[in-house]
Structure 1
Amino acid sequence: MRFGDLLSLVLYNLGRRKGRVALTTLGVIIGTAAVILLVSLGLGLQRNATSQLWGISDLRRIEVYPNYGGGEGGPMAVVIEPGGKGGTSGGQKLLTPAAIEEIRALEGVEYAIPRNWVRVSAVLKVGRLENYPSLLAVDTDDLAIFDYPLEAGTTRLERGTAIIGSWAARQFYDPRQRPGQEPPPQPELLNQQVRLVLQKWTQDGQVITKTVNLRIVGILAESRSEADGALFVRMDEATAWEEWARGQRINRNREGYNMLVVRARDPDKVLELADQINAMGYMASTPQSFVQGINNFYLVLQLIFGGVGAIALLVAAIGIANTMTMAILERTREIGLMKALGATNRDVLSIFLGEAAGIGFLGGLGGVLIGWLGSAMLNVVAVTYLSSQSQGGAPMTAATFTPLWLPLFALAFATLIGLISGLYPALRAATLVPVTALKYE
């Protein structure tokens, strides 16, 4: 039997029982629409979560911290291993210069730059206005290497210069402002000279101050990270300030650094690189691990959502099998006549499988359309509602997301479900004995 003849016969037979076929197709429509709508919801939530994380952090970045795992000597009892590497009797691992070189030598590392919170009490002054930003020291001449967004100025750090975060640049206040008085306007900082007043206390409680003049050469744009409230300075200058505050020189071979910022060349190798650093005894964390956790969570969620839709399709499959079984009972004599006229078992099997697959295909087509429209409507309603309830942070741009492969997969799956559901009734029809079928009442 030619394909064209088979197709026309299948369409004719489906049209003979419009009501029954429509009700059976409705079950497939509901199941397919449920699959598309629920999986689209899971994909949309995953896409929204990961897109916000991409906006916050560089996913190639690894933050490495010293491991102060305390031993008998206490959490800060430091000894020096041969060769100058940081370590302790209790298995501590410090970020000493030698340790940093060891990490830099790992395959796949683009850079490894020490970064320190400057442990000095300081106030930033511009005229009468004051500010208390966090002091961050970086061992690099160009802050662009960290990919912080720049609002104005430059990212180059030279001696006597500093770069300020967006939030810190807008937090100046007048300590002598009276109640009810209008707050002063924020100062223009770019390329302006500011005073950083360092403070330390003597044993008898007296305050000693030291004023450092800095020129603000850059203002960072908001990145929703620690950089927003920080004042970035050079590591060598910050080390000198800490030595002044302590009254003694700092030995990095003994104390190490607070933190090391490592960047991988390939984002796909970040987790592997972080595991290598952890295996060396340090404490490494990366935003990539959060992304992996988010993806794993939403993958499970999509499987659950898809399973709910698959249950609806399973119920529809039972309906298709029942419809095809009833069709065989009603058309037994017709099957016997077809065989008597020369139709083979394969021809009969093809006809009934075609009808079952046709029901699945029509239901899948309707389900794809309804699921896509439902996804779009849910998207509009959810985004509108959540935007009205938002109390800050990045707004949700999409509650659902329907990739091209999803409706194509749903349509093919619905057709396959119909084909499988009609397999037993079709085999039963194909194996009918013509004489017996013609005698059937």
Structure 2
Amino acid sequence: MKLLDTVSISFKALTSKRLRTSLTILGILIGPAIVIGLTGLTLGFSSVLTHQLFSSLSPTDIFVNPGTNQINSYTVQEISHLPGVKAVVPFYLISATIQTPSGPEGTEILAINTAQASEVFPGLTLQTGQYPSPYSSYGAVVGYYVAHPQYPGQPTYHTGQTIEVTMNTPDGKVTKTFLVTGNFNEFSSAFADIDRALVVQSIVGSQYYGDQYGGLIVEASSVSQVNNVVNEIHNELGRSVSVTSVEQFITLINNSVSAVSSLLFVAGASSFIVAFVGILSTMFTTVVERTREIGVLRAIGFTRRAIMAIFMGEAILMGLLGGLAGVGAGVGMGYLLTSGSGFNFGGRGGGSGAGLGPSTHITPVFEPTFMAEVVLITIVFSLLAGLIPAYRASRIEPAVALRYEV
């Protein structure tokens, strides 16, 4: 029997029982829909996070933090002389609080050479005002959510105003008043929550910490030199410092997304098992109901192989239709989930050092190859589910089948 004839007979058999076929296909599509929808959402999150990381930081940035030893001016000199190093920018991170009507609000003070900050943070731009002068110990640029608080009742701080903060220093809590010289646009970064921070000149940090820096930002001469510089720093300073590059951030993100995608696929696999049982049940019922039809087909010359092919064709068609419908439903689910405010990701009430602000919208990403693989897996599950009923149908003797009463 020709392939087209087999497909035609299988398709007519499915359409003759529309309700049962529709319900079976509905059970099949749940698995692909869950896997495609949630995986697309995860890949979209990864894509946005990667994009924002590269847009806010330079791909040549390398972050050096204290390890077993403190970072001081001697560390800066050692790294500055390594091959492939373009610049070394030391910084201080001082935890602090701002007094508001609703109580103290946590913040950070980033003390850094502001002339170099704009080079290592290409995404950090001023909305209004300017950076304080190089030797100013009282000027500060405030982050976006300090100038534009998200919660009612919190004070706003704009250029020309003063802001009083309480800093945690080696000498204890110190209260200091800064003059706001400007404020930043939104800036999401894995480095620091600058949207909720104050950026001041490095002289402020040196007043309390001397040359004991909070860390260094090392700028490599080119992207191709980043790994070499990271290795040179490790060789020179060993475990006394912790070294992380932007490229390593990306690798970490991709590894995390891969792990989450694998978990989602395993979770969706349970739905495939449910679909398998549904197809198996439907096919066994179909074989019983069509026993006399099988006898007629055998009587007019259909072989056992042809009978088996017809029922296998029905299972494969249901798997194909369920898989395609599941992919479509998964794509729709991905966009539906991201259209709600609940999936406009933000951290800590909005700004986040993790890299996403509250207005960041996640667009799901769907890979055609992965969608094709999901459809193929669905067909394979359907094929396996239909194998035993089809074999049973092919073994029915014509004389027995013709005498069968439903």
TM-score by length of 1: 0.59
Please say if 1:14 is aligned against 2:14.
yes
Q: How does 1:15-414 map to 2 (within 5 A)?
A: 15-65=15-65, 69=69, 94-95=74-75, 97-102=77-82, 105=83, 109=84, 111-115=86-90, 136-137=112-113, 144=119, 147=122, 149-151=124-126, 166-167=141-142, 186=159, 223=187, 225=192, 229-230=198-199, 259-263=215-219, 265-266=222-223, 274=230, 277-280=233-236, 281=238, 282-383=241-342, 394-398=357-361, 401-405=364-368, 407-414=371-378
- Tell me if the contact between 1:95 and 1:260 (Cα under 8 Å) persists in the aligned partners: no
State how far apart, in whole Å, the 1-side matches of 2:341 and 2:118 are: 39
Aligned-pair CA distance for 1:25: 1.8
State how far apart, in whole Å, the 2-side matches of 1:185 and 1:404 are: 45
Aligned-pair CA distance for 1:279: 5.0
| Amino acid in structure 2 at the alignment position of 1:374 | M
Aligned-pair CA distance for 1:437: 4.9
Find the residue that maps to 2:62 and give its secondary structure: strand
Find the residue that maps to 2:86 and give its secondary structure: strand
| Amino acid in structure 1 at the alignment position of 2:378 | A
State how far apart, in whole Å, the 2-side matches of 1:334 and 1:308 are: 40
Aligned-pair CA distance for 1:28: 1.0
Residues 247-284 of structure 1: per-residue CA shift (max 9 Å, x gap): xxx9xxxx8987543345448x9678646633541431
Cα distance change on mapping 1:359 and 1:141 into 2, 3 Å: closer
Aligned-pair CA distance for 1:24: 1.6
- Tell me if the contact between 1:336 and 1:435 (Cα under 8 Å) persists in the aligned partners: yes
State how far apart, in whole Å, the 1-side matches of 2:304 and 2:31 are: 32
Cα distance change on mapping 1:272 and 1:430 into 2, 3 Å: farther
Please say if 1:429 is aligned against 2:393.
yes
Cα distance change on mapping 1:141 and 1:290 into 2, 3 Å: closer
Cα distance change on mapping 1:361 and 1:432 into 2, 3 Å: same
Residues 78-113 of structure 1: per-residue CA shift (max 9 Å, x gap): 9xxxxxxx9xxxxxxx525355333xx3xxx46343
State how far apart, in whole Å, the 2-side matches of 1:298 and 1:417 are: 26
State how far apart, in whole Å, the 1-side matches of 2:266 and 2:48 are: 22
Please name the residue that 1:90 is paired with.
none
**Structure 2 gaps, min length 5:** 94-108, 147-155, 162-180
Cα distance change on mapping 1:289 and 1:97 into 2, 3 Å: same
Find the residue that maps to 1:401 and give its secondary structure: coil
State how far apart, in whole Å, the 2-side matches of 1:359 and 1:272 are: 55
Identity %: 26
Find the residue that maps to 1:284 and give its secondary structure: strand
Aligned-pair CA distance for 1:37: 3.2
Aligned-pair CA distance for 1:61: 1.8
Aligned-pair CA distance for 1:150: 4.6
State how far apart, in whole Å, the 2-side matches of 1:6 and 1:439 are: 25
Aligned-pair CA distance for 1:22: 2.2
| Amino acid in structure 1 at the alignment position of 2:4 | G
Residues 157-194 of structure 1: per-residue CA shift (max 9 Å, x gap): x99999x874299x9xxxxxxxxxxx998469xxxxxx
Please name the residue that 1:83 is paired with.
none
Cα distance change on mapping 1:8 and 1:185 into 2, 3 Å: closer
State how far apart, in whole Å, the 1-side matches of 2:299 and 2:50 are: 64
State how far apart, in whole Å, the 2-side matches of 1:330 and 1:352 are: 13
Please name the residue that 1:81 is paired with.
none
Cα distance change on mapping 1:219 and 1:101 into 2, 3 Å: farther
Aligned-residue CA RMSD (Å): 5.1
Cα distance change on mapping 1:342 and 1:399 into 2, 3 Å: same
State how far apart, in whole Å, the 2-side matches of 1:398 and 1:375 are: 13
- Tell me if the contact between 1:65 and 1:260 (Cα under 8 Å) persists in the aligned partners: yes
**Structure 1 gaps, min length 5:** 70-74, 79-85, 87-93, 119-132, 172-182, 189-215
Find the residue that maps to 1:95 and give its secondary structure: helix
Residues 358-395 of structure 1: per-residue CA shift (max 9 Å, x gap): 112222233333333333332222348879x9555622
